[in-house]
Structure 1
Amino acid sequence: MQPVSLLLNVLWIVLGGAYMAFGWLVAAVVMAITIVGLPWARAAFNIAAYTLLPFGSRAVRRDELTGMEDVGTGLLGLLGNVIWFVLAGWWLALGHLLTAIALAVTIIGLPFAWAHLKLAGLALWPIGKTIVPA
Structure 2
Amino acid sequence: MNFLMNLIWFVLGGFISFASWVVIGVLWCLTIVGIPIGMQCFKFAVMAAVPFGREIRISESGTSLVINIIWMLLGGLALAAEEAVLGVIFCMTIVGIPFGLQHFKHAKLALFPFGAEIYRVA
Range class of TM-score, shorter chain: over 0.9
- Give identity over the alignment, percent: 36
The amino acid that maps onto 2:72 is F
The equivalences for 1:1-134 within 5 A come to 4-61=1-58, 74=63, 77-134=64-121
Paired letter, 1:55: F
Q: Deviations over 1:1-58 (max 9, x none)?
A: xxx1001101100121101110000000000111111221121111000000000111
Which residues of structure 2 form unaligned runs of 5+?
A: none
Runs (4+) of structure 1 moved beyond 6 Å? none
Q: Distance in 1 between matches of 2:97 and 2:14?
A: 14
Name structure 1 gaps, 5 residues minimum: none
Read off the aligned partner of 2:117 and give its amino acid letter. T
Give the alignment's Cα RMSD to 1 decimal: 1.4
Distance 2:70 2:19 in 1: 21
TM-score when scaled to structure 2?
Answer: 0.93
Provide TM-score, normalisation by structure 1: 0.85
User: How far, CA to CA, are the matches of 2:7 and 2:48 in structure 1?
Assistant: 12
